[in-house]
Structure 1
Amino acid sequence: MDWAWGRLGGKDVIDAVAAAALALTVGYAIVDPPGPSSWWPLWSAWPVAAVVSLPVAVRRRWPRAVLALACAAGVLATVAGAVAAGMIWLSFVPTVLVLYLVATVVPAGWSVAGLAACASAAVAAVLVFYAQVFPGLPATGWKSELPPYWPVEIGVTCVLLTAGWLTGTLVRWKRDTTARLAEAAVADERRRIARELHDVIGHSMSLIAVKATVANHVADARPQEVRAALAVIEQTSRSTLAEIHRVLGLLRSDGDPREAHLPAPGMAGLPELAAGARSAGVEVDLTVREEVAPPPAVAVSVYRIVQQALTNVITHAGPTRCSVTVDVDGRVATIEVVDDGPRHGRPPRAGQGGPGGHGGPGGPGGPGGHGLIGMRERARMYGGTFSAETRSEGGFRVAARLPYDPNGTVT
């Protein structure tokens, strides 16, 4: 039974059942109409009802063609006098169901044209029926509960067609909106993961590059310092691999809470960041004032902003002196990273801009970099502010302010 259901398609079976139910309803209305009976033979009611309702059973295969077929069947049955006087609108219910489907799968412009064409054809058919067919029908011997009246027939038919089109259009709009939201969510997730990888790899590779350069220059004269540099490189590489494993685990898990992940970085990791920068030759003065522990999402953003700012200092200004201040008061997280710029008048490295070495076109502050862009995006997530500027006395200053509710949402 499941095999047959899958082969036929569940929706196709539902459409077939709906078409059969409509055929019975239309046929019964023709056999026992509220007004004068059709001049057609009594047995013809069932073939007519089947022809009028058949398009519903195949509407998913060729929606546009089936819409024309359903409307044409209703119009021909009406003009030929094979329908029930007083219940002509029932012959256009199959057209309504097909129009609903068309509105869900085709552009709005095409479905509007389909609605206009079907409504116009139905109105014309009803007017022809009451002008030419109805006067020749035999009069009933009793008063009808629903007397034939062409304005009512036209009104009900047009209302049903409009309702079917409007419902289908709303369904299509909801599907399109859901799809756009899903695409936006995927794009946001990609940007978030790219930002995470950029922060992790950028910081670690900058530190590794600095230590490798030091080791290469003192390899012969100071082997002990080489071993110390290699130890820093080893530790940094291990922590970087762990971080990359955590980020990539988000992709593999697909949001499955049963997947185990390494803990996300947070406020507790700031001293380790400072220690890593010190090992690369930057004198870091770290000050953390934390009245209340921030939500995890805020803590990650604080960590990443400090990490990227120190990466810029190591890459573009070190060795130098740098102060890092983080203040969390339960409502706002404030970050400030200030460096003194390259020592002894050392010129900026390739790609650096101003005295602090952070704002050139090739550096992280320029059009080709992503460091400052990533920090600015993290601040914007919380409706906060971000600034990065060269200091008049030399060096560079990065500041960010992240307002948040205690539950981690934007204030």
Structure 2
Amino acid sequence: MTTFERARCELKAHPLALDAALAAAVLLCMVAGSFAAPQDGDGVTWNTRAAAPLSLLLMLLAAVALVFRRRAPRTVLALTGTLSVVECVTGDPRAPVTMSAVIALYTVASTTDRTTTLRVGLLTMTVLTAVAMLAGPLPWYAQENLGVLAWTGIGATAGDAVRSRRAVVQAIRERAERAERTREEEARRRVAEERLRIARDLHDVVAHHIALVNVQAGVAAHVMDKRPDQAKEALAHVREASRSALDELRATVGLLRQSGDPAAPTEPAPGLGLLEDLAGTFRSAGLPVRVARTDQDTRLPAAVDLAAYRIVQEALTNVRKHAGAGARAEVSVVRAGRNIEITVVDDGSGETPAPGAHPGHHPGSVPEKGGGHGLLGMRERVGSLGGTLTTGPRYGSGFRVHAILPVDTTDTRVDGRTTAPGEPV
């Protein structure tokens, strides 16, 4: 930092000292100007005749008033304007006390709005110029009188220009700060959305496979002594379900890897292409599942395909956990115009849990106390893609989950922005 910049920072840190220095400089200019006398021709002449004592007093009072120009700009303008009028009427015409009024007018213009500047500026210009022309010792057409008009106008204009520049700089700074806050908020929002999506995936994976493991472990414990072959088969299903859970957990958690981390092999995200395999895992767990598809091999965006798979997975998991023994489920996938409809129904009563399953009510009979995250997760998935989800008990017995997802998510708006097909939501 240069010496000039350090001095400038020091003066800005002490505004009263800066105003005192300015007042001293203005006083010096006014005293020096009192030695100049106009000639009949061009220019001025300098002599050694000092100004009258009254003019020197007016100069001193005007300079002292300028020290407080930041604290009370309008009061200082009124005071310096009054001193200028007194100087024009009774003082030496060489005493330029009006210079202090110009500085005070500049201060008022730089600290107020444009309307106030226009009113105060016109009033100051009119009063000082009229007094100088009508009551001053010089002829009304003297160039000194016109100089009063010009200098007061320059002071008001310069002050308004400085105020406008400050306003522009402040607006630019505020826009930059607001843009920075917006970028930070957007980054936090995207992180929260990504965490929510990963949490939903982890919930779906864990709930599905742990439910299957629990059921098969219960079956194995139930038939271990009487039918060891069936217990062995159940344990094989437990092993397969746990392996699938680990694979999906590895693939999901792999999304959290940093760019510099070593790459790990991951499987592609599941979709409706694996619907039969998903139904097979439930059939092996003792839940009859019938799959009907009339979607004519519709090619879905990755986000829609994954959401459809997770909805079926979560709905069948709820059936296995809550529908009771002997329940059957039916899954249908139908293409309807620009949408694809996923329906999962069951005929369970929710009265008799399967061996090894967690006790609980079927969602279609009595609402679960405390509520679970399965239906909420499905609703969030469907809502994030611009679809609709309907859940509720069927007439008689059973439960129904019906989801409508748009095949083309290009026009789907999420939080006011457009998402492209397959973009994570």
Same fold (TM over 0.5): yes
CA shift in 2, pair 1:405/1:251, >3 Å? same
Query: Which residue is equivalent to 2:214?
Result: 209
- Give per-residue Cα distances to partners, 1:337-394, cap 9 Å, x unaligned: 0000148x6379733156x45x5224xxxx4310000011111012211111111221
TM-score when normalising by structure 2: 0.63
SS at match of 1:288: strand
- For residues 332 and 234 of structure 2, the distance between their equivalents in structure 1, rounded to whole angstroms, comes to 27
Displacement of 1:252 after TM fit? 1.7
Contact 1:294–1:406 under 8 Å retained in 2: no
Code of the residue aligned with 1:69 in structure 2: it is A
- For residues 264 and 77 of structure 2, the distance between their equivalents in structure 1, rounded to whole angstroms, comes to 67
Code of the residue aligned with 2:392 in structure 1: it is E
Mapping for residues 30-41 of structure 1, pairs under 5 Å: none
CA shift in 2, pair 1:70/1:237, >3 Å? farther
Bigger mean CA deviation after superposition, 240-249 or 258-267: 258-267
- For residues 202 and 177 of structure 2, the distance between their equivalents in structure 1, rounded to whole angstroms, comes to 37
Mapping for residues 186-205 of structure 1, pairs under 5 Å: 186-205=191-210
Query: Which residue is equivalent to 2:305?
Result: 299
- Give per-residue Cα distances to partners, 1:20-63, cap 9 Å, x unaligned: 6xx5xxxxxxxxxxxxxxxxxxxxxxxxxx63x326xxxxxxxx
Displacement of 1:120 after TM fit? 6.0
Q: 2:319 aligns with which of 305, 313, 317?
A: 313
- For residues 368 and 254 of structure 1, the distance between their equivalents in structure 2, rounded to whole angstroms, comes to 38
Contact 1:298–1:408 under 8 Å retained in 2: no
Contact 1:199–1:304 under 8 Å retained in 2: yes
Matched, 1:181 2:186: yes
Q: 1:324 aligns with which of 295, 314, 331?
A: 331
Mapping for residues 219-368 of structure 1, pairs under 5 Å: 219-253=224-258, 261-291=266-296, 292-319=298-325, 320-328=327-335, 331-342=338-349, 346=352, 350-352=359-361, 356=364, 360-362=367-369, 367-368=370-371
- For residues 215 and 288 of structure 2, the distance between their equivalents in structure 1, rounded to whole angstroms, comes to 14
Larger Rg belongs to: 2
SS at match of 2:342: strand
- For residues 378 and 155 of structure 1, the distance between their equivalents in structure 2, rounded to whole angstroms, comes to 56
Query: Which residue is equivalent to 2:391?
Result: 388
- For residues 122 and 170 of structure 1, the distance between their equivalents in structure 2, rounded to whole angstroms, comes to 31
Query: Which residue is equivalent to 1:35?
Result: none
Query: Which residue is equivalent to 1:116?
Result: none
Query: Which residue is equivalent to 2:376?
Result: 373
- For residues 401 and 257 of structure 1, the distance between their equivalents in structure 2, rounded to whole angstroms, comes to 39
Displacement of 1:199 after TM fit? 0.2
CA shift in 2, pair 1:318/1:269, >3 Å? farther
Displacement of 1:254 after TM fit? 5.9
- Give per-residue Cα distances to partners, 1:258-313, cap 9 Å, x unaligned: 77542111111111110011111111001123332101111000000000001001
Mapping for residues 62-77 of structure 1, pairs under 5 Å: 69=13, 72=16, 75-77=19-21
Mapping for residues 82-161 of structure 1, pairs under 5 Å: 127=77, 135=97, 149-161=154-166
Query: Which residue is equivalent to 2:140?
Result: none
CA shift in 2, pair 1:334/1:72, >3 Å? farther
Code of the residue aligned with 1:324 in structure 2: it is V
Work out the percentage of aligned pairs sharing the same amino acid.
36
Code of the residue aligned with 1:396 in structure 2: it is F
Contact 1:284–1:323 under 8 Å retained in 2: yes
- Give per-residue Cα distances to partners, 1:68-115, cap 9 Å, x unaligned: 7275565444444369x9xxxxxxxxxxxxxxxxxxxxxxxxxxxxxx
Code of the residue aligned with 2:216 in structure 1: it is K
Contact 2:202–2:249 under 8 Å retained in 1: yes
Bigger mean CA deviation after superposition, 162-171 or 214-223: 162-171
SS at match of 2:268: coil
- Give per-residue Cα distances to partners, 1:210-237, cap 9 Å, x unaligned: 0000000000111111111111111111
Contact 1:308–1:371 under 8 Å retained in 2: yes
- For residues 295 and 171 of structure 1, the distance between their equivalents in structure 2, rounded to whole angstroms, comes to 37
User: Structure 1 unaligned runs (5+)?
Assistant: 1-15, 24-49, 56-65, 86-118
Matched, 1:54 2:9: yes
The CA RMSD measured in Å over matched residues stands at: 3.8
- For residues 147 and 136 of structure 1, the distance between their equivalents in structure 2, rounded to whole angstroms, comes to 9
Code of the residue aligned with 1:390 in structure 2: it is P
- Give per-residue Cα distances to partners, 1:107-162, cap 9 Å, x unaligned: xxxxxxxxxxxx9659569949975796376999xx9xx96622112212221222
SS at match of 2:257: helix
User: Structure 2 unaligned runs (5+)?
Assistant: 30-68, 85-95, 101-142, 419-425
CA shift in 2, pair 1:405/1:353, >3 Å? closer
Contact 1:341–1:394 under 8 Å retained in 2: yes
Contact 2:338–2:406 under 8 Å retained in 1: yes
